[in-house]
Every structure is written in C-alpha cells, then in structure tokens.
Amino acid sequence: MTTIETRLFGLLATIWGGVLIYFYASLRVNKYLAENFHLFVLVGGIGICILGVYSMISPKDKTSETHSCHGHDHHDHDAHDHDHSHSHCDHDHSGHETCQHDHDHDHDHGESCDGHHHHDEGHGLATTYLLTLVPLIIAMTFTKDRFSDLGLARQGAYEAPPESRAPFTREDLEKNVPKNAQGEFQLSLVNAYYAGGDKELHDVLDGLPVEIQGRLMPEKVNNQDGMRRRIFRTFISCCAADATVAGVSLLFDTPTPDPPNQTWVKAHGKLTFEEHQGRSYTVVKVSSLEAAEEPYSEFIQRNR
Amino acid sequence: MVPFVSEATQAQLQDGSFQFLAIFLEGIPFIFLGTLVSGFLGTFLPRNAFERFLPKNRTAAVLVSGLLGAIFPVCECAVVPVIRRLVRNGLPASCALAYMLAAPIFNPVTAISTYKAFNDSWFMAGSRLGLGYLIAIIVALVMAKVAHSKYIKASELEHAHDHEHPRTLSAAMNNSLKDLMDVGVYFAIGVTLTALLKTTLIDPTTDFWKSLAENSLAGTPAMMGLAFILSLCSTSDAFIAANIANFREAPKLAFMVFGPMMDAKLIFLYSTVFRWKFIIGLLLALFLLTGAFSLFVEFSLAKIWEPKIP
C-alpha cells in the first residue's frame, strides 16, 4: 500500500469504527443486537477507529512489507520436486504437503526480485470503498430499525406455536406471575404464545384474566370480520437477523381500535384458545387496550 | 418512500437494510479482532513457530490442529484472517484448514450453547462437536496430499516466504489494516448477499419449507442450504436450529455443522486465502460429508441415545 492508500484505508476504517460507536452511543444498537453484544460494538468501534486514525497519522512503515529475496530458504514442511522458474532470483520454494525435503528451485513470477516483487493484494482503494460503503449507506438510509409487516410475517409472526408442552403450569403461573391492580396476570407474551401449542393447558388456562404487553401489527389469521389485531414480541440469539417473531391474536368486540401498527401496548382481557386450519392458536379477548412504554430492548433473548 | 417502487419491494428494502446492519454490527467487531490478532501474529510470531509444538508427523499435526479451537476458540468470521497470517508464517496449509474448519465448532462456547439450546442434550452437543472435528480432519488430510499451491491463492503463497519483516508496532498495525480491508470487503459482499436472499428467496414460513420437516432425507440438504444463506454465528446458531420446529436430528445437526464451515459470507472470506475452484470443491465436499454423517447419526446413533429434541 502506498502512503496515500494507507491513509485512505485508515479513513475508511475510521468510518466503520465511527458507525459502530454511533450505533452504540445513540442506543440504536438495542434495535439490532442482543445486549451481550453491545459492549463488543463499542470496543470494536473504538479499536477500529484507533487503527484507522493511527494509519492516517503514521501511514506507512516503509519496510513492513518489503521482501528479502536473497536466498530464501523455504522450509514449508512440504517440499516437493518441481521447478518454478523465477526470472531473476533463486528461491527455494516448497509447495507440496507430502514429501519433506528441501531443495532449490526457481520461480517464474515474471517479476524482478531485486525490486521486491509484490503481487497485487487486496481489492484496490476504489473497489474497497465501493463494496463496503455503498451497502452501508443504503442500509443506513432505508432501515427503520425494525422489520416491516412483511418481514415480521417472514420471521414467523403468523405461525402457530409448536405443538409441545408449554414450559409452565397453572401452578407456576399462580406462584410466579405477578398480578396487576385489577387482579389480571401480567403474563409474558411468550408464555401466552407457547400455551397455544399445549392442548393440555387449554382447559386449565381458558378464561384466565391477563395483561399482555407487546407491539401491534395487523392480523391475517381468521380475521374475515376485521375484529382482530395481533400483538407480538421478537426473540433473538445474537442479532435481528436471527429473529423469530411470536404473535398472539387480539379479539375485540368492536372493529379494531386506533393505535397504529408497531405501537407498544398493554392488552387487558381473557386468555382463550382456538383451532384454525388444524393448528391451535392463543387468542386474547380484549376488554381494554392502553399505550405502553417501549422496553429498553425490544428483544427477548433466547435462553443461553 | 422510494418513488416508482412497489410497497412489497420497499418492505424488502427496509428488511434487507435492517438485517444487513444487524449482521454488520454483530460481525465487524469480531472481524476486527481476527485481523488484529492476525496482524500481530504475522508481525511478531517467528516464522515456522508452529513447527516447534505441532507434531512432526503430518497426520498427527492435522489431528492436533483440529483440536486447537478448544484452546483458542474463535468464531468463523475471526478465524479466516488468523489462518491467513498463520499460513504466511509457515503453518502447513492442511493444518490451517483443519483449524479453520473445526475451530468454530470444536470450542467450549459452541459446546455450551448447543448443550443448552437442546435442553441439556449431551447427544446433540457431542454429535455436533464430533462431526465438526471429523469432517474438518477428513478434508484436511485429503488436502495434505495435494500441493498447497493448487488451493492456496498465489498471493498468499508468495507471502509464505522467509521474509525479513520488521517486528514493530507500526508494521503490526499496518498488517492489521491490510487484513481488515481485505477481509472487510468480502464480509460486506457476503452480508449483502445474505440480507438479499433472506428478504427475497428464502421464506421458512412457506408450505414448501414446512413439508421438508417431515422427511430428513429432503430436510437435511434443505437445512444446509438454509444455514448457508442465513450465515449465522457458530456460537449461537444452535438456538436457531433448536427452534426450527419439527425437523429431526439430521437436519438440525447438518444445519449446525455445515453453517459454521461454509456460508454465504464465509465463501467470500475464504476467497481471501483460497482459490475459487477449491472453495467450490470444498462446498460440495462439506455438503456431502455433513449430509451423510448427519443422516448416519439420526438413523443409527440417535436411536441408541434417544436424544431430547425441543
């Protein structure tokens, strides 16, 4: 790399690092990554910035990549019998992994060794800028820090819960789930979702007064009369790209109320279950809906 | 809003951008870590240092290299720049290959996450680590018979000489920057491709994908294809595999073994070290080996162990 290339690559690294620090400092990182990755973003951002700034200030160690071409002795463990014909210098190259002996031979790289030949490495300045910055700029322009309704559907928002035992019982609920002032269980949406897949629990939990918090989205399952909305939460392991969305149907007495999609709400009502096209779903018969504060992280992290 | 673009396309653009940034933010710190390590190793590690502690016998050296992930755990993003420098510093290519393929799977972080994701299943954790190691060793031993100039890029081989590099902080930083730029480009291409595919072609909620769950013979290659496109981190992909409902052991195992060795972003990262012809061959070999061994585990060992699948 020439001095100017090193400086410009250093600038590019500083931009990358700056993006990481910006996402961390603005708390936008909460919308993208699980909490245990946040510190990596900060530390990585600072580290990349240090590397970038250092490279801009001290752009070239003139000798860092010079090659001593005089009498290389290549003990590459893998010596083999072949002749490379190097036009000017005598190397002892070994490129095979089976025999183990050293020998001298020439390479033909068509370059002069006394000028310290360098094969073209990397992708060039313009290509590197183009291939890394363009997608980054496009992504930062078009992201809304969340999935679209189409994206939520692809991540499973309308999928029925797996048919398996729910990870709790009625007794667990009574013991562990707090109640609000109205005596409703402040049930997590995740538990409500999984209860739908455990038919043994349906009778036990049917009619349970609950308060459930999540984000609103349109309902597409069993909603011919337009009396339903859906409430969802997102699970992740590391980042939004591995997200799974769990959704529960909200059934209203009247055509669905005003809060726009993606609004955080608390739904109050009775838990119930229904069959649709052979699959069991959780439904909350809503008595009231209120706006809720957005949690620090909208993600629920899968158990580690 | 983008004019003249349909609502669905705008939604895909939003989702693709969201997923691109998520993977970028998650991956770049680890790419940086890998390139920092690689830059300093390349500068300060004496050439052929590995010869001192790896067994002289090539087969034994490959077997040991495949286990190094247990001591030096790295994810699949960080391992590529590291082995790139190690090859330049004289680590035999076959040993580097064994470490590169095995380390993202055969390490304590992946072992624990797999164990926990599958409801404390030693069977799934053991099968995953065992298969990862076995396949990495098979590939590396086969490649040990091949001249490394046939599969390592010429530019990498040229650097694998007995050069007199200055051992200074400045040289290390310079090498780190070069590696970061080289690998960063391929990472960006891979992440872009992943985000594009995830928002267009691949939709696991469709009936097609659901029908695959009923048949492991069809589900296993499908899940490897999914792992290739999703490009998840090996330290946490077990939680995804465990939660992809209804698939049996073979497809889930194949997902967790194939993905860390070969995915849409890795294929571009590998191209910083290996020739494209070799990468395509490696993809096919890993696909066949992982599929065959995963099905073997399901149809034979799983019946004996009766693993718990969540």
pLDDT at residue A99, rounded to an integer: 37
Query: B189 versus B224: which is more confidently predicted?
Result: B224
B279 in contact with chain A, both atoms CB, cutoff 8 A? no
pLDDT, mean of residues A245-270: 88
Q: Per-residue confidence at A16, pLDDT binned at 50, 70, 90? A: very high
Report the SS3 class of residue A211.
strand
Residues of chain B in contact with residue A139, where contact means CB-CB under 8 angstroms, are: 16-18, 20-21, 24, 195
pLDDT digits (tens, 9 = 90+) for B135-147: 999 999 999 998 8
Q: Per-residue confidence at A247, pLDDT binned at 50, 70, 90? A: very high
Give the lowest-confidence range in A123-127, A299-303, B96-100, B259-263: A299-303
pLDDT at residue A80, rounded to an integer: 39
Please tell me the distance in Å from A283's CA to the nearest CA on chain B.
Answer: 20
pLDDT at residue A114, rounded to an integer: 37
d(CA B147, CA B145): 7
Taking an 8 Å cut-off on Cβ atoms, the answer to whether B18 and A145 are in contact is yes
Asked if the model's pLDDT at residue A145 lies above 90, the reply is yes
pLDDT at residue A160, rounded to an integer: 85
Q: Which residue in B11, B144, B171 is closest to A148 by CB distance?
A: B11
Could you tell me which CATH number the domain at A153-301 has? Answer: 2.40.50.200
Contact, A55 vs B179, CB < 8 A? no
Task: Write b or e for each residue in A123-136: b if 16 or more Cβ atoms lie within 10 A of its Cβ, otherwise e.
Answer: bebeebbebbeebb
Angle at A109 between CA A105 and CA A115, to 5 degrees: 100
Asked if the model's pLDDT at residue A143 lies above 80, the reply is yes
Residues of chain A in contact with residue B118, where contact means CB-CB under 8 angstroms, are: none
Q: Which residue in A65, A97, A109 is closest to B58 by CB distance?
A: A97
pLDDT digits (tens, 9 = 90+) for B80-90: 888 888 888 77
pLDDT at residue B7, rounded to an integer: 84
Task: Write b or e for each residue in A232-249: b if 16 or more Cβ atoms lie within 10 A of its Cβ, otherwise e.
Answer: bbbbbbbbbbbbbbbbbb
Q: Per-residue confidence at A102, pLDDT binned at 50, 70, 90? A: very low
pLDDT digits (tens, 9 = 90+) for A270-285: 999 998 888 888 999 9
pLDDT, mean of residues A81-107: 39
Contact, B102 vs B151, CB < 8 A? no
Helix (H) or strand (E) holding A250: strand A244-251
pLDDT, mean of residues A129-156: 93
Query: A302 versus B115: which is more confidently predicted?
Result: B115
pLDDT at residue B159, rounded to an integer: 62
Taking an 8 Å cut-off on Cβ atoms, the answer to whether A65 and B174 are in contact is yes
d(CA B58, CA A52): 40
What does the domain layout of chain A look like in residue ranges? Answer: 3-64+123-142, 153-301
Give the lowest-confidence range in A195-199, A235-239, B224-228, B306-310: B306-310
Report chain B's mean pLDDT, rounded to a whole number.
Answer: 84
What's the complex ipTM? 0.78
Residue B224 tokens, joined: 């490897």
Residues of chain A in contact with residue B168, where contact means CB-CB under 8 angstroms, are: 61, 64
pLDDT, mean of residues A203-230: 89
Asked if the model's pLDDT at residue B238 lies above 60, the reply is yes
Asked if the model's pLDDT at residue A220 lies above 80, the reply is yes
Report chain A's mean pLDDT, rounded to a whole number.
Answer: 78
> Terminal CA-to-CA distance of chain B, rounded, Å?
42
User: Taking the mean position of all CA atoms in its chain, how far away is CA A22?
Assistant: 17
d(CA B271, CA A25): 34
Burial label for B202, CB within 10 Å (0-12, 13-18, 19+), is middle
Q: Which residue in A44, A97, A119 is closest to B29 by CB distance?
A: A44
- A301 HSE (CA, 13 A, CB side): 16
Query: A106 versus A238: which is more confidently predicted?
Result: A238
Range 185-224 of B in CB contact (< 8 A) with A: 185, 188-189, 191-192, 194-195, 198-199, 203-205
Query: B174 versus A1: which is more confidently predicted?
Result: B174
Give the lowest-confidence range in A171-175, A228-232, A264-268: A171-175
Cβ neighbours for B91, distance < 8 A, ≥ 6 positions apart: B50, B83
Contact, B163 vs B175, CB < 8 A? no
pLDDT, mean of residues A170-197: 86
